[in-house]
Copies of this chain bind each other. A is one copy, B any other.
Amino acid sequence: MISKKTIYAFKALIHLAGTPSGQPVLIADLARDENIPKKFLEFILLSLRKGGLLQSRVGKGGGYTLALPANKITIGSIVRILEGDIAPVQCLSTTNYARCEECRDEATCGIRLTMTDVNVALATVLDGLTLADMVERSEAARNTLQNVVDYSI
């Protein structure tokens, strides 16, 4: 289950992706519009910036903008930055590897050998989806619904 922190990040990124490019958005505005606790959002945006997904400018006229086009920002990269990892077991993590406490032998651990498949499946789907997908799918759904409404009038 994805944490609230990551959901907040998605919301903020979607908001930024929908802002005319170059126009910085203030943390305060983002927090208000998306209903995210401001201080918590600060921390999230900072993580995303350090992760290379956002750019910021301080001072008047400052704020946050995407550092890349939305279709270059994968959902996987967002999750990795905020959840620390994607792997279902830490002994499978590349970014955050740790041996499992009581693992007698990693090479023959049935849990690990099976979770590898899960890890690959997750990484594949998460790295195949981007912020642009989030925006586009939402728009597509809105349009479809709009048509339904139009017809029904």
A124-145 contacts to B (CB < 8 Å): 124-126, 129, 133-135, 137-138, 141-142, 145
Docked Cα-Cα span, A141 to B112, in Å, equals 11
A7 to B112, CA, bound (A): 10
Task: Determine whether A150 belongs to the interface, using a CB cutoff of 8 Å to chain B.
Answer: no
Choose one: B35, B83, B113, B118; the contact of A138 (CB below 8 Å): B113
Residues of B within 8 A of A7 (CB): 89, 100, 111
Residues of B contacting A149 with CB < 8 Å? none
- Give Cα distance in the complex from A134 to B118, angstroms: 13
Q: Which of A24-32, A39-47, A54-62, A102-110 contacts B (4 or more CB under 8 A)?
A: A102-110
On chain A, which size bracket covers the interface? 35 or more
Contacts of A152 in B (CB 8 A): none
Inter-chain contact A113/B125, CB cutoff 8 Å: no
| A82 to B: closest C-beta gap in Å | 13
- Shortest CB-to-CB span from A11 to chain B, Å, is 7
Over the window 77-100 of chain A, the binary record of Cβ atoms lying under 8 Å from chain B Cβ atoms (1 yes, 0 no) is: 000000101011110000000001
Closest CB-CB distance, A14 to chain B, in whole Å? 6
Query: Which A residues are within 8 Å of any B CB, using their own CB?
Result: 1-2, 7, 10-11, 14, 35, 75, 83, 85, 87-90, 100, 102, 107-111, 113-115, 117-118, 121-122, 124-126, 129, 133-135, 137-138, 141-142, 145
